[in-house]
């Protein structure tokens, strides 16, 4: 009996400890939708809430800067702020949106963790007259869960951008392999396959030597180990194309260690991550987009809709990459691909 | 006079059947990969694997000691990250750059966190798995609240750690590239010798085996449970702290949310090596072979042209077959010697 009681005590203590570590922050996040300023905000201003996938990481911190910029530019008519779950969890995101609906905000912007999972909640918001905008949610385009969806770029064109960078760095010939976060990631696979298709068509001397891209789980240690193995397994390798920041920096670190200068390394990356490698030559070319642009452009469209205006092809949403958008029904396409090369200062982009 | 094999002369004991079995798997697997892709069979691959595997090898030694003492610790990856990250942040705040300092602070923090585990386990008489499950979250949560989870890319990583990560014992230049035997190899060797010495050449080590075999009888012959457990968990924390710095230095990238989640794989590797989950048994060589198998499976998929899921399949199969054999043999042995115990 004593051991049983001990076990129960143990479990209670352990759960209490876990709850202490995680509980406070998640409760705070769900409840803390509106900023303190919201209570005393200007009368009659539209209240627009942006919900990120997860708060606290650089990428979405940068997105919130775009939201803040938009808020400052339109402070007389808008109160815009960003919130989000403390882990990339779809259920927590749903809870935050439910909370925002209850608060009666005028528009909700979401970067969904699971677009189809959150759709019913978004539909509920729309039924109550709230404007709903999303990004990275092409699956919701054409449904009644959203009013509009902004994609930073056309995924096929983004993939071809990698291909062009790789072809340039390899001089249009040689063997190359690819590495994606996971084979089930739709955007990564679209980028990779469209890059390969572009190279097959335009650079017949470039050969993909492993039909399937390798997986790096977007994990730093795995990416590095995988890059090392790739370099050893393909002694004639001329190029490497990664669709995750860790993929490119893992390869850069291996090339540096082994002092290999004839493998072109092209990757999705962030300016803060790829800057030193691009400058030192361990990475040839990187591509990204600025999440602050998402924050700004999504809020701009929401405000336009709240004002009863429509957004049409060619409109300027007020942020680089969204100066002339393409509108197709609910889908709004930007041209926000950001190219990162040697010598181009990363300093202005703090992400 | 009986001739003694090289193994017996070195280790002063016969090879366990588990070790033989693992060694055979490793050799067969290496031959298969080498036949499939001759590029694999090179010194360069070996050096790369040593570099990539050194971190988890150090963690595995800590896991082994804990398993021998009859516990299961799942907080060691969290301790590695928390002590490594805290130490780097502290050094950045103080504004200087010294490898010895950063390692020293990390191992001290690691040992302190380990002693918290030991005290909780001893004084509340709680199951080790549950305590360390709790402390893993609590330690990491506390760090995230107090320091945040900002990542440092190569520009912001202290120079001494970058140098440490790229320093080598031996560099060989090939026609296209160069490859080197990382200094980590020496550290791993030192940790193995230290662990061997502590387990087999000190009273403390014998006490660890004793409490792992039977806590009650160990305590009755006068072994201090508190002291022994403090040693076990402090040592595991010490190794974790050291590994944290090696991990960050090797990657030249500091990400305080990485590594956590790999602990069960490392525990499984040590268990494959013959360490018993019920305590009292386990060998260093077995743990080393277990980690080599994990590392081998992980870093041969490209050579074999297989996807990452194959790694899980291989590893899972070896784990199940190994444990099946190990416990079946144990039962047979028990039956023969008329022992009817649950393990």
Rounded to the nearest 5 degrees, what angle is found at the Cα of B253, between the Cα atoms of A153 and B50? Answer: 120
B274 in a structural domain: yes
Per-residue pLDDT tens digits for B185-216:
999 999 999 999 999 999 999 999 999 999 99
Residue with tokens 């205006």: A309
> B98 to chain A nearest CA, in Å?
22
The whole-chain average pLDDT of chain A stands at 84
Helix (H, G, I), strand (E, B) or coil at B325: helix
Does A19 lie at the interface with B, CB-CB under 8 angstroms?
no
CA pair distance A178, A239, nearest whole angstrom: 9
Task: Please report, in tens digits, the pLDDT of each residue of chain B (343 residues total).
Answer: 456 677 776 777 888 888 888 899 999 999 999 998 888 888 888 999 999 999 999 999 999 999 999 999 999 999 999 999 999 999 999 998 999 999 999 999 999 999 999 999 999 999 999 999 999 999 999 998 899 878 888 788 999 999 999 898 888 888 778 888 999 999 999 999 999 999 999 999 999 999 999 999 999 999 999 999 999 999 999 999 999 999 999 988 898 888 888 899 999 999 998 898 888 889 999 999 999 999 998 888 888 888 777 888 888 888 888 888 888 888 888 888 877 665 4
Chain A residues lying within 8 Å of B45, measured CB to CB: 229, 232
Output the pTM of the full model. Answer: 0.81
Helices (H), B42-176: 43-68, 76-94, 99-123, 128-147, 159-166
Q: Which residues of A289-303 are buried (b: 16+ CB within 10 A; e: fewer)?
A: bbbbbbbbbbbbbbb
From its phi and psi, is residue A174 left (phi > 0), alpha (psi between -120 and 50) or beta? left
Partner residue opposite A224 with nearest CB, options B42, B180, B251: B251
Q: Whole domain around residue B168: which residue ranges?
A: 6-336
Do A155-288 and A40-146+291-335 fall under one CATH topology?
Answer: yes
CB spacing of A18 vs B179 below 8 angstroms: no
CATH number at residue B16: 1.10.3470
Its ipTM equals: 0.83
> If residue A287 lies in a helix (H) or strand (E), which one and from where to where?
strand A285-289
B227 φ/ψ sector (left φ>0, alpha ψ -120 to 50, else beta): alpha
- The answer to whether A2 contacts chain B (CB < 8 Å) is no
Token digits of residue B201: 């050449």
Q: How many domains in chain B?
A: 1
Query: How do residues A195-248 score in pLDDT, each as one tens digit?
Result: 999 999 999 999 999 888 998 888 888 899 999 999 999 989 999 999 988 899
Instruction: Nearest by CB to B124, from A13, A215, A232: name it.
Output: A13
- pLDDT of A106 reads 95
Flag if A225 and B299 touch (Cβ within 8 Å). Answer: yes
- Candidates A239, A332, A238; CA nearest to A294 is A332
B287 domain-assigned: yes
The stretches in chain A having pLDDT less than 70 are 1-43, 345-350
Distance, in angstroms, between A345 CA and closest chain B CA? Answer: 14
* Residues of B whose CB is below 8 A from A25: 145
In-domain check, residue B63: yes
Distance CA B84, CA B109 (A): 9
pLDDT tens string B233-277 = 999 999 999 999 999 999 888 988 888 888 999 999 999 988 988
- Tell me if B210 is assigned to some domain: yes
A55 touches chain B (CB under 8 A): no
Question: With a CB-CB cutoff of 8 Å, which residues 282-341 of chain A face chain B?
Answer: none
DSSP state of B267: H
Give yes or no for A229 touching B (CB within 8 A). Answer: yes
Q: How far is CA A263 from the centre of its chain?
A: 27
CB contact under 8 A, A276 and B255: no
Q: What is the per-residue pLDDT for A347?
A: 54
Nearest CB among B137, B179, B305 relative to A210 is that of: B305
- Domain A40-146+291-335 CATH assignment equals 3.40.50.2300: yes
Dist CA A268 CA A213 (whole Å)? 15
Q: What is the pLDDT of residue A5?
A: 54
Question: What is d(CA B9, CA B23) in angstroms, rounded to the nearest whole number?
Answer: 18
Please state, in angstroms and rounded to a whole number, the distance separating the CA atoms of residues A282 and A280.
Answer: 6
Question: Taking CB atoms and an 8 Å cutoff, what residues of chain A touch B44?
Answer: 232
Domain limits of chain A? 40-146+291-335, 155-288
CATH 3.40.50.2300 corresponds to the domain A155-288: yes
Q: Which of B39, B45, B230, B26 is nearest to B122 (CA)?
A: B230
Residue B1 inside a domain? The answer is no
CB contact A12 to B (< 8 Å) = no
B170 close to A (CB below 8 A):
no
Out of B48, B140, B145, name the one closest to residue A232 (CB).
Answer: B48
Interface of A with B in 166-205 (CB under 8 A): 183
For residue A279, what is the nearest residue in chain B, using CA coordinates? B155
């Amino acid at each position: 009996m004593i051991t049983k009681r001990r076990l129960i005590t143990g479990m209670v203590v352990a759960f209490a400890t876990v709850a202490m570590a995680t509980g406070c922050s998640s409760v705070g996040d769900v409840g803390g939708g509106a900023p303190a300023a919201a209570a005393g905000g200007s009368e009659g201003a539209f209240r627009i809430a942006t919900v990120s996938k997860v708060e606290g990481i650089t990428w979405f911190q940068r997105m919130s800067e775009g939201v803040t910029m938009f808020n400052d530019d339109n402070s007389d008519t808008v109160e815009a702020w960003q919130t989000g779950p403390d882990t990339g969890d779809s259920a927590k995101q749903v809870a935050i949106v439910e909370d925002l609906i209850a608060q009666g905000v005028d528009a909700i912007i979401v970067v969904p963790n699971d677009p189809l999972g959150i759709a019913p909640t978004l539909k509920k918001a729309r039924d109550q007259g709230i404007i709903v905008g999303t990004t990275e949610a092409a699956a919701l385009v054409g449904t009644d869960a959203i009013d509009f969806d902004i994609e930073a770029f056309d995924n096929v064109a983004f993939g071809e951008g990698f291909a062009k960078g790789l072809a340039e760095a390899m001089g249009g010939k040689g063997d190359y392999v690819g590495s994606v976060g996971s084979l089930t990631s739709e955007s990564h696979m679209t980028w990779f396959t469209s890059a390969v298709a572009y190279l097959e068509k335009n650079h017949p001397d470039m050969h993909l030597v492993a039909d399937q891209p390798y997986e790096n789980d977007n994990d730093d240690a795995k990416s590095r180990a995988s890059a090392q193995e790739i370099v050893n397994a393909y002694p004639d390798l001329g190029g490497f194309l990664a669709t995750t920041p860790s993929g490119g920096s893992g390869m850069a670190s291996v090339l540096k260690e082994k002092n290999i200068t004839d493998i072109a390394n092209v990757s999705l990356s962030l300016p803060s991550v790829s800057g030193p490698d691009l400058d030192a030559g361990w990475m040839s070319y990187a591509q990204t987009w600025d999440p602050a642009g998402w924050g700004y452009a999504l809020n701009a469209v929401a405000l336009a809709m709240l004002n009863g205006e429509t957004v049409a092809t060619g409109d300027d949403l007020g942020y680089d990459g969204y100066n002339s958008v393409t509108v197709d029904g609910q889908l709004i396409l930007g041209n926000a691909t950001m190219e990162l090369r040697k010598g181009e200062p990363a300093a202005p982009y703090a992400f | 006079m009986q001739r003694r094999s090289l193994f017996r002369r070195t280790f002063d004991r016969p090879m366990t059947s588990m070790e033989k079995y693992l060694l055979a798997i490793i050799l067969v697997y290496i031959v298969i990969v080498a036949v499939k892709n001759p590029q694999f069979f090179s010194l360069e691959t070996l050096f790369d694997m040593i570099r990539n595997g050194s971190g988890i090898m150090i963690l595995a030694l800590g896991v082994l000691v804990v398993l021998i003492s009859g516990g299961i610790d799942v907080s060691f990856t969290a301790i590695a990250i928390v002590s490594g990250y805290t130490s780097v942040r502290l050094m950045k705040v103080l504004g200087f750059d010294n490898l010895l300092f950063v390692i020293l602070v990390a191992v001290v923090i690691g040992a302190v966190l380990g002693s918290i585990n030991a005290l909780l386990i001893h004084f509340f008489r709680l199951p080790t798995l549950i305590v360390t499950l709790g402390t893993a979250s609590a330690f990491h949560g506390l760090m995230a609240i107090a320091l945040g989870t900002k990542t440092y890319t190569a520009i912001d990583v202290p120079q001494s750690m970058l140098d440490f990560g790229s320093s080598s014992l031996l560099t060989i230049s090939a026609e296209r590239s160069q490859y080197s035997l990382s200094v980590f190899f020496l550290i791993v060797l030192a940790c193995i010798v230290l662990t061997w010495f502590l387990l087999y050449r000190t009273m403390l080590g014998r006490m660890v085996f004793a409490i792992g075999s039977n806590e009650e009888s160990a305590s009755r012959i006068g072994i201090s449970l508190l002291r022994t457990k403090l040693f076990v968990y402090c040592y595991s924390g010490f190794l974790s702290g050291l590994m944290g710095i090696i991990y960050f230095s090797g990657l030249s990238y500091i990400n305080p949310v990485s590594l956590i989640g790999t602990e069960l794989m490392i525990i499984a590797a040590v268990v494959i090596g013959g360490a018993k989950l019920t305590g009292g048994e386990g060998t260093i060589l077995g743990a080393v072979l277990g980690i080599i198998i994990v590392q081998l499976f992980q870093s041969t998929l490209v050579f074999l042209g297989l996807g990452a899921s194959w790694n899980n399949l291989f590893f899972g199969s070896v784990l199940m077959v190994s444990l099946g054999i190990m416990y079946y043999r144990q039962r047979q042995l028990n039956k023969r010697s008329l022992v009817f115990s649950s393990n």
